[in-house]
Amino acid sequence: MKDFKRPRSEKDFELNFSPINPLMSGSEAVVESSRCLFCYNAPCIKACPTEIDIPLFIRQISTGNLKGTARTIYESNYFGNACGKVCPVEVLCEGACVFNDMNLKPIEIGRLQSYAATYALKKKFALFVPGAPQNKKVAVIGAGPAGISCACELRRFGYEVDVFEAKDKPTGLTLHGVAPYKITNEEALKEAEFLKKQLEFRIHYRTPVTSYRQFRNLENEYDAIFIGIGLGNTVELKIKGEDLDGCMGAVEYIENIKLKKHKARSGRKVVVIGGGNTAMDAASEASRMGAERVWLSYRRSKEEMPAYEFEYELAKKVCVEPLFNTAPLEISGKSKVEGIKLAPTKVVSGRITADKQNSFVVPCDMVIIATGQEKQNKLLDIIDGFEFDDKGRPVTEGDSFRAKGTKYFIAGDVINGGSEIVNAVAEAVKAAEGIHNFLKGNTN
């Protein structure tokens, strides 16, 4: 069990949020890479959404060819460093490692990847050059993993690319949403800078695209438009007291910590509502921000939690206390949060019902809501020609990620409902191919 004091300085903060997967040393990388079996048609490759040739880059590390390693990684995944640090490797590449079947520790693929990618960023390896000019322009909305990956791929095809970003920094949730003990701001920004320098796309910061007129202008000015805007704000619970000071969405809470570090607001007694990975992160971060107690209220059982097992373990390690099978009824307080009323739940014919008779109050000064992010349909709805399926998802054409019948292409969290960076990268690269085929007049 770990006790964290409220961080008072950047140094305190860095100590509380020290990396859970620290950077490998050269000798660690040599030892670890020499363990790899170099499987034929390796399962780790198939388990990676971007299909990095993992055995190849590990062999390249073991032979001291770090430039070759970097090329292998970045050719498949523009967010090679971020993914090495942030990916849920336990359920992806490392989960597929054949060593698991021998009850041996799987190869630490994530850390090896991050070791090689960090080296590449430090040495500024020249890996990419823009393609011969196509004399066509593509607008990319959103400078997150999807937007930047799409921009990179398009530049290599030779298209001119303008990226429009609402915030003042790139990499989206990598910067604003991923816990600092997984990746630091500096690491996230360095990778974006590395790519931008080599592939020369433009990013227009503080330029949200939100109005019909803006979309119309883009349509007139650009030959294709890629949308990689991720998800919206936290979904409201619609219970009493949600507007009290001290009640906030998990995305906003986490972003605040990423940007303000030790100066970010955090409660002494915190209740997090939700059972997903974002809830686990928010709870862990509240504990690392020095909360006396952190509770995690989830309306179903531990087994039904959508969060990855290891994310829950991370939260438990920092003393987060679970309150399974509880649902929030109301948040109490005069102007600030003073407590939250929770009711035990049970499942009656498939539906969850709260047992209000037996409700109880948990005194707290902060409630963090982590029950999901809003879809962006309101925004997408204003674009001419967008079609939605019965679940409200934009209808796209096969693997091209083209919004049916339009010059828009759309990928990443905005369309997959919220997934990993690696998924956004993989989709965006395919979307860039879709754009390329579209602009060549080959729409399949």
Residue 22 gets the label, from left (phi > 0), alpha (psi -120 to 50) or beta, of: beta
Is residue 301 classed as helix, strand or coil in its secondary structure?
Answer: coil
d(CA 221, CA 262): 43
Nearer to other proteins among residue 28 and residue 397 (C-beta): 28
Comparing CA positions, the residue from 24, 85, 75, 79 lying closest to residue 53 is: 75
Burial of 98 (0-12, 13-18, 19+ CB in 10 A): middle
Q: What is the per-residue binding string for other proteins in 61-100, x denoting contact by CB under 8 A?
A: -x-----------------------------------xx-
Indicate whether 239 belongs to the interface with other proteins (CB under 8 A): no
- Helices (H) then strands (E): counts for the chain: 18, 16
Residue in 34, 210, 217, 443 binding other proteins, rule: CB under 8 A: 34
Of 1, 2, 3, 102, the residue at the interface with other proteins (CB under 8 A) is 102
Q: From CA 39, how far away is CA 287, in angstroms rounded?
A: 41
Determine the Cα–Cα distance for residues 418 and 142; give it in Å rounded to an integer.
15
The answer to whether 189 contacts other proteins (rule: CB under 8 A) is no
Q: How many CB atoms lie within 10 A of CB 66?
A: 20
The torsion angles phi and psi of 31, rounded to 5 degrees, stand at: -65, -50
Binding residue (CB under 8 A) for other proteins from 9, 20, 38, 105: 38
Residue from 3, 101, 168, 390 binding other proteins (CB under 8 A): 101
Burial class (CB in 10 A: 0-12, 13-18, 19+), 4: middle
CB of 116 vs other proteins, minimal distance in Å? 17
Query: Looking at 36-44, 76-84, 217-225, 285-293, which segment touches other proteins (CB under 8 A)?
Result: 36-44
Q: How many residues form the binding site for other proteins (CB under 8 A)?
A: 17
Q: Which is nearer to other proteins, 40 or 348 (CB)?
A: 40
Q: Measured from the CB of residue 99, what is the shortest distance to other proteins in angstroms?
A: 7
56 is a contact residue toward other proteins (CB under 8 A): no
Sign of CA dihedral 430, 436, 439, 444: negative
Longest dimension (CA), the chain: 70
Residue 55 or 274: which CB sits closer to other proteins? Answer: 55
Contacts of 189 by beta carbon, 8 Å cutoff, 6+ apart? 169, 170, 171, 175
Which residue's CB is nearer to other proteins, number 23 or number 30? Answer: 30
Q: Which of 1, 40, 238, 348 is in the footprint of other proteins by CB under 8 A?
A: 40
Q: Which two tokens stand for residue 401?
A: 């990620």
Q: Please report how close the Cβ of residue 74 comes to other proteins at its closest, in angstroms.
A: 25
Eight-class DSSP state of 357: G
Using the minimum distance from each CB to other proteins, give the nearer residue, 1 or 102.
102
Return the number of the residue (102 or 348) whose C-beta is nearest other proteins: 102
* Among the residue ranges 3-11, 29-37, 113-121, 378-386, the one whose residues contact other proteins (CB under 8 A): 29-37
Nearer to other proteins, 30 or 259 (CB): 30
Residues 6+ apart with CB under 8 A from 243: none
Residue choice 3, 41, 126, 390 for contact with other proteins (CB under 8 A): 41
Which spans of this chain sit near other proteins (rule: CB under 8 A)? 30-31, 33-35, 37-43, 62, 98-99, 101-102
